[in-house]
Amino acid sequence: MKSFDELFRERDWRPIRNCPGRYILHGASDDLSLAEILGEAASVSEHRVAAARDTVLVVALEDGGGLISYARRDGTMLHTLNTSEGFERKLRQLRIERKG
């Protein structure tokens, strides 16, 4: 699986304001799947949580960071890339427990 640094270099990720360690995929990206971003099959967990109106898709990276993507009702996606700290903080905010 690709690392945080590899994923960060491959696409145009922009910092999320007031969210240290979290980046949003910029540009024409709302039709990209997680497989297209990762370049391979990944273990994706899907969550419906009160803190998000969209379905939340989570992929933990081996180096500690992760992708948190939101599947919107209109079929588009919003992708965020997170450092270890940003990933853990956002999962806590969403009340999503990491498995394994």
Q: Could you report the per-residue pLDDT of 7-34, keeping only the tens digit for each?
A: 999 999 999 999 999 999 998 677 888 8
Which of the four pLDDT bands, split at 50, 70 and 90, describes residue 59?
very high
Query: Quick one: pLDDT at residue 98?
Result: 79
Mean predicted confidence (pLDDT) in 70-95: 95
Q: Is the pLDDT of residue 41 over 90?
A: no
Q: 66-71: long-range contacts at Cβ-Cβ below 8 A with a sequence spacing of 24 or more?
A: 66/91, 67/7, 67/34, 67/37, 67/38, 68/94, 69/34
Quick one: pLDDT at residue 18? 95
Question: How confident is residue 100, by pLDDT bands cut at 50, 70 and 90?
Answer: low
- Model pTM above 0.85: yes
**What tokens were used for 12?**
């145009």
